């Protein structure tokens, strides 16, 4: 008999290559992440079809899909339910459900069938403390090279904040495009953080020179990047 230890699959971490898999989805078969090369991807899991929190989330994501697409980001959902359950649930959402003014919502992004929980286990989406049979609300941000850049986990009871998911996506793209970091509560148009000086000479120069950089001390310097410049770099033309 196998031990519990032999069944443990290490959870992927930030900086790892996204675990590969092939799956059946509501939009046909996919080979992940190869099919999404060149785009950012948000891979997210939900506990079960025909549940109210998940329904509100899918309606929100579907309503914002175009906004994410303009930021070169594709959406891929997952639950451990079967394909026919997925199809029936998404049809019900479109035909019957209204939430926060959203109605007649069509979910066009793929929803993965994962009855065997193979994908959920690869990504650490099954958390025994919550449930042995339902995936928690995990969110994986995967960059165009197939590298995991950020991971967020929510308990089964907590619906996600989609403004924050979009903010995090744009912040990471901004960091890549301008070689900067983004401070707490950053929004496009706010000042960004310049990487810490790597030598005493650079630190001294930053404190003495008059530039568009504002240094509060040698290790904490910011500079402005306009909202227009951020979106020129991030949004697809």
Q: What is the pLDDT of residues 184-234, one digit of tens each?
A: 999 999 999 998 765 555 556 666 665 678 888 878 889 999 999 999 998
Helix (H, G, I), strand (E, B) or coil at 23: strand
* 83 and 199 assigned to the same domain: no
Residue 237, pLDDT > 80, answer no
* 35 and 100 assigned to the same domain: yes
Domain count, the chain: 2
* 105 and 212 assigned to the same domain: no
Q: How many whole angstroms separate alpha carbon 14 and alpha carbon 18? A: 9
Catalytic annotation on 200?
A: no
The CATH number of residue 67's host domain is: 3.40.30.10
pLDDT of residue 8: 55
Contact in structure between 80 and 120 (CB atoms under 8 Å)? yes
* 96 and 128 assigned to the same domain: yes
pLDDT of residue 104: 97
What number is the average pLDDT over the span 60-68? 96
Please report the beta strands in 80-175, taking only residues with DSSP state E, as ranges in sequence order: 111-113, 137-142, 148-154
Q: Mark which of 162, 191, 208 sits at the end of a domain.
A: 162
pLDDT of residue 131: 59
pLDDT of residue 184: 96
Q: Mark which of 133, 162, 191 sits at the end of a domain.
A: 162
* 132 and 207 assigned to the same domain: no
Active-site entry in 54, 73, 215, 221: 54
Q: How far is CA 55 from the centre of its chain?
A: 18
Q: Mark the binding-site residues, compressed into ranges.
A: 137
* 97 and 143 assigned to the same domain: yes
* 87 and 184 assigned to the same domain: no
User: Where in the sequence is the domain holding 230, given as residue range(s)?
Assistant: 179-234
Is position 174 within any domain? no
Closest CA to 84 of 138, 26, 34: 26
Q: How many whole angstroms separate alpha carbon 115 and alpha carbon 117? A: 5
Q: How many whole angstroms separate alpha carbon 128 and alpha carbon 117? A: 13
pLDDT digits (tens, 9 = 90+) for 153-175: 998 889 999 999 999 999 999 99
Q: Mark the binding-site residues for substrate, compressed into ranges.
A: 137
């Amino acid at each position: 008999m196998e031990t519990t230890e032999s069944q443990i699959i290490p959870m992927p971490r930030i900086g790892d290559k996204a675990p590969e898999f092939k799956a059946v989805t509501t939009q046909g078969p996919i080979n992940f992440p190869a099919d999404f090369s060149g785009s950012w991807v948000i891979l997210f899991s939900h506990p079960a079809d025909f549940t109210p929190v998940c329904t509100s989330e899918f309606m929100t994501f579907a309503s914002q899909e175009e906004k994410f697409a303009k930021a070169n980001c594709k959406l891929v959902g997952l639950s451990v339910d079967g394909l026919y359950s997925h199809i029936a649930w998404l049809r019900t959402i479109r035909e019957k459900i209204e939430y926060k003014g959203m109605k007649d919502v069509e979910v066009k992004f793929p929803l993965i069938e994962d009855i065997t929980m193979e994908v959920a286990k690869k990504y650490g989406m099954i958390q025994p403390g919550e449930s042995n049979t339902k995936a928690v609300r995990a969110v994986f941000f995967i960059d165009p090279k197939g590298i995991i850049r950020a991971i967020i986990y929510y308990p089964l009871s907590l619906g996600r904040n989609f403004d924050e998911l979009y903010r995090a996506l744009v912040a990471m793209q901004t960091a890549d495009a301008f070689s900067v970091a983004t401070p707490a509560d950053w929004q496009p148009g706010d000042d960004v953080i310049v990487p810490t000086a790597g030598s005493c000479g650079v630190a001294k120069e930053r404190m003495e020179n008059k530039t568009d950089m504002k240094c509060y001390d040698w290790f904490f310097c910011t500079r402005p990047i306009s909202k227009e410049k951020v979106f020129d770099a991030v949004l697809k033309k």
